[in-house]
């Protein structure tokens, strides 16, 4: 059983494993990980924080919801560019309290600009008020401010940022990122004996993330042969790849990092087989835009995305309550409260602890299967697809556990 939540909590059965020998017969076809959209909104970047804009939505306001004895504090942005997703997260949280709170929870919404410098003081106020869990803030800068200006003991913090943020003690991101996407593909490649991996990345890609990718490849059982950078501008890509000829020659798998204007050219060039004659597998990431799926060179590519199938479990009730379909962000808000509700229902008011949050079994909720790691990161299982006729076909479900 997944720790904290069960399938019955959100009314779904566990996923059916669909792993198969889909690498067989692909020959020189690229095998790519990318990301698909949810409810019409691309989930490329896997919801890396709250980065979509919608100034037409009214900002969230400071308020409370519910009247239970256990308080969860949510730190949400009022910035115009973040309003829609902040509203979605707040509404998802409210629905989760209605569904799962059992009269035990109260949400204290604290709304303020992400540039106001208030995040750390809001955390301090939450500590003084006896809050058991903090959800937010929405930017890496605010997370850094909390790390710098608060100290333990304080409640666990589930930040509304992506995995590439600098974590602090008892602080975890709620969103996955492109490296998580790539590593899901690496696991598939390694299982198919495609273990020698070259990483092709945009020049200037964060060194911290490259190091995390290399370590993740090692833990998956693969070997990083080397790194080959390419210019974001796409100027003279063949020349950039020619410099990595020796690395390409030793690899049978490519990890492609980047999603800018050059990525389509990168895929075209590598699919043509001009570099890396021994390479049979390529793993791209959630940074790749969906329009790439339509390219002739992309047909037959493999794609891994975060699970969104369980979002349908909350869709009808969310739409009835708020008049719109739930986004991935709404599901993130739902899951943050669902975690708290599941722990409190199973263990009482003091059950929201670091030990329970970092259970190796993890949690299953509206955004699928995930767990919080002791090192301050999140693991999210993903679903593997193949691109056929510009669309995604499921090849392998996310699985039943870690």
Q: What pLDDT, in 10s, does the model give residues 283-341?
A: 878 787 888 888 888 777 777 788 777 788 899 999 999 999 999 999 999 999 999 99
Distance CA 178, CA 183 (A): 9
Alpha-carbon torsion, ordered 371, 372, 374, 379, to 10 deg: 60
The pTM assigned to this predicted structure is: 0.81
Beta bridge partners of 75: 110
What rounded mean pLDDT belongs to the chain? 83
Tell me whether domains 7-44+178-307+382-396 and 63-176+309-379 share a fold.
yes
E-strand stretches of 218-334: 223-230, 253-257, 281-283, 302-306
Highest mean pLDDT among 78-87, 164-173, 181-190: 78-87
Alpha-carbon torsion, ordered 277, 283, 288, 294, to 10 deg: 60
Q: Name the percent of the chain lying above pLDDT 70.
A: 85
152, burial (CB in 10 Å: exposed 0-12, middle 13-18, buried 19+): exposed
E-strand stretches of 79-181: 105-112, 133-135, 157-159, 171-173
- The token pair at 210 is 């490259």
Domain ranges (residues) in the chain:
7-44+178-307+382-396, 63-176+309-379
- The token pair at 312 is 């349908």
Distance CA 44, CA 48 (A): 8
Q: What is the band of 165 on the pLDDT scale with cuts at 50, 70, 90?
A: low
CATH topology of domain 7-44+178-307+382-396: Rossmann fold (3.40.50)
- The token pair at 313 is 């479990």
Give backbone dihedrals phi and psi of 244, rounded to 5 degrees, phi first. -100, 20
* Residue linked to tokens 């995604």: 392
Give buried/exposed letters for 157-175 (b at 16+ CB in 10 A, else e).
bbbbbbbbbebbebbbbbb
Contact in structure between 96 and 338 (CB atoms under 8 Å) = yes
Alpha-carbon torsion, ordered 333, 334, 338, 340, to 10 deg: 20
Domain 63-176+309-379 is found in CATH 1.10.600.10: no
pLDDT for the residue numbered 335: 96
Edge-first strand order for the sheet with 382-388 is 302-306, 382-388, 391-396
E-strand stretches of 183-297: 196-202, 223-230, 253-257, 281-283
Q: Residue 387: is its pLDDT beyond 80?
A: no
pLDDT for the residue numbered 54: 52
Give backbone dihedrals phi and psi of 313, rounded to 5 degrees, phi first. -65, -30
In terms of DSSP H, where are the helices of 299-378? 312-322, 328-347, 354-357
Contact in structure between 113 and 145 (CB atoms under 8 Å) = no
């Amino acid at each position: 059983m997944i720790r904290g939540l069960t399938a019955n909590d959100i009314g779904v059965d566990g996923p059916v494993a669909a792993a198969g020998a889909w690498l067989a017969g692909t020959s020189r076809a690229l095998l790519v990980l990318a990301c698909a959209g949810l409810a019409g909104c691309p989930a490329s970047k896997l919801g890396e924080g709250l980065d979509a804009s919608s100034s037409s939505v009214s900002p969230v306001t400071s308020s409370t919801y519910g009247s239970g004895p256990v308080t969860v504090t949510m730190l949400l942005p009022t910035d115009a560019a973040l309003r829609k997703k902040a509203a979605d997260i707040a509404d998802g949280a409210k629905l989760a309290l209605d569904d799962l709170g059992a009269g035990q929870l109260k949400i204290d919404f604290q709304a303020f600009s992400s540039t106001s410098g208030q995040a750390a003081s809001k955390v301090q106020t939450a500590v003084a008020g006896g809050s058991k869990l903090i959800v937010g803030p929405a930017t890496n800068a605010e997370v850094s401010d909390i790390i710098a200006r608060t100290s333990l003991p304080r409640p666990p913090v589930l930040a509304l940022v992506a995995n590439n943020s600098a974590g602090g003690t008892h602080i975890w991101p709620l969103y996955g990122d492109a490296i998580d996407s790539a590593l899901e593909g690496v696991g598939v490649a390694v299982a198919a004996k495609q273990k020698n991996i070259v990483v092709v990345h945009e020049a200037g890609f964060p060194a911290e993330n490259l190091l995390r990718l290399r370590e993740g490849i090692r833990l998956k059982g693969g070997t990083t042969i080397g790194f080959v950078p390419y210019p974001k501008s796409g100027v003279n890509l063949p020349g950039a790849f020619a410099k990595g000829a020796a690395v390409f020659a030793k690899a049978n798998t490519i990890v492609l990092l980047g999603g800018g204007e050059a990525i389509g050219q990168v895929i075209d060039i590598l699919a043509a087989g001009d570099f890396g004659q021994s390479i049979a597998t390529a793993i791209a990431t959630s940074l790749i835009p969906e329009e790439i799926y339509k390219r002739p060179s992309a047909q037959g590519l493999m794609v891994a995305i975060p699970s969104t199938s369980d979002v349908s479990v909350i869709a009808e009730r969310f739409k009835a309550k708020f008049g719109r379909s739930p986004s991935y962000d709404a599901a993130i808000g739902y899951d943050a409260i669902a975690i708290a509700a599941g722990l409190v229902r199973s263990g009482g008011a003091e059950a929201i602890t670091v030990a329970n949050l970092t259970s190796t079994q993890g949690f299953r909720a509206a955004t699928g299967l995930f767990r919080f790691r002791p090192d301050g990161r999140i693991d999210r299982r993903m679903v593997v697809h193949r691109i056929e006729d510009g669309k995604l076909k499921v090849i392998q479900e996310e699985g039943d556990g870690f």
